[in-house]
Amino acid sequence: MAKPKTRHRNLPPRMTVRTYTNKRGETWVGYYYEHPRDAAGKRKLTSLGTDLAEAKRQWAELEHRPAPIDLTTIDGVYTLYMKWAEDRVKSKLSLRTLSDRNKYWKQLAPVYGSTPINALLPGHIMPYFDKRSSQVSAKKELKFLSVLCNWARGKGLMRVPNPCTGLFVQMKVKEGRDIYVEDIWLALVYKHGSDIIKDALDLAYLTGQRPADVKKMRWSQVQDGVLLVGQNKTGAKLRIIIEGKLAEVLERIKKRKVKGLTVLADPKGQPLKEFGYFRSQFDKARDAAETEAREMGIDFVRFQFRDLRPKAATDLDTLHSLKAAQKLLGHTTERMTADYIRKRRGDVVKPLPMKKAG
């Protein structure tokens, strides 16, 4: 077993460094692997090159160990960050957030992965945004890079200021959706949807929950006349009273020949996923609805399943109150709900009053 290091403690066991300064003051640095002494007491050195990251990779091969994380690069910081993030007790991050950040990194890694964390500058940020084909996606990805930098600074891995600070205001993109699903559009998709798609449309609209929360609803959440909801994104907990149309829909689903653990299930009783059966059936119904709308001379927008949540909020605000819409959506303030609705329908304003004659 190698003895504990007294020098160069940043290097793994059996790795050592040699330096040489020539007459011009230039310093050469090389890394070596120290093999155990042979029977004659001699120690063989294997050159690992002059690049520390590559030297550690070769060291790992010689030691038959996983390569150590290089915390001097953004890729290394990301690896350590995800180890922390995946402990959801500590990070408090949702599964959706983890999935999104993995997806963002796949785009960021080829550009920033090998960059030293302390060499990342503001001038490296905007070119990525400008060249990315989808600038909406680019802004989301760079916001995650900013999160990564702040996390690294908090852990003492990054000593320079966050290079993303103050740049997002320059990234002019249309964020968020502003579609309000008109009743006729929903009716047409509903008309052409399979029974399971109709169930999904009803449940999403009546409860006003996000698609992921709607699809994961289980029969065990139906208790004492209420539907218990725990939102993935915010952790908000709701108890939706089962009455009226919602009661009818749940009773209708119960009578299906095949019933799964989740309220919404495919013909085999399996939970609905984002892709697969649900996506193909929803697209099929939407295509048929668009064709019929065109034949009727009606403008039709190919809305998404997630657009039913803002429609539910808008309609509830119109029929009852903003407070009722806020509670159903699980927002912390009425202002959040008001902004959410306003983006899709616009402000309600009065016309200019006529001046009295004379």
Same domain membership, residue 309 and residue 226: yes
Last residue of a domain, one of 120, 138, 170: 170
Residue 218 counted as domain residue: yes
Q: Answer left, alpha or beta for residue 346, where phi above 0 means left and psi between -120 and 50 means alpha.
A: left
What is the signed CA dihedral for 161, 163, 167, 168, rounded to 10 degrees?
A: -100
User: Containing domain of residue 124, as a range?
Assistant: 74-170
Residue 79 counted as domain residue: yes
What 8-state DSSP symbol labels residue 66? Answer: P
Same domain membership, residue 144 and residue 219: no
Query: What is the structure's pLDDT at 4?
Result: 53
Query: What is the structure's pLDDT at 342?
Result: 63
CATH number at residue 316: 1.10.443.10
Same domain membership, residue 325 and residue 197: yes
Same domain membership, residue 319 and residue 238: yes
Residues of the chain with pLDDT under 70: 1-10, 67-68, 175-176, 342-348, 357-358
Same domain membership, residue 209 and residue 106: no
* Total domain count, the chain: 3
Separation of alpha carbons 50 and 128, rounded Å: 30
Query: What is the structure's pLDDT at 196?
Result: 95
Query: What is the structure's pLDDT at 337?
Result: 85
CB-hemisphere CA count at 13 Å for 171?
A: 24
The token duo for 187 is 């009716």
Residue 357 counted as domain residue: no
Residue 21 counted as domain residue: yes
Same domain membership, residue 298 and residue 208: yes
Same domain membership, residue 82 and residue 58: no
Separation of alpha carbons 117 and 152, rounded Å: 9
Query: What is the structure's pLDDT at 219?
Result: 95
Last residue of a domain, one of 141, 170, 199: 170
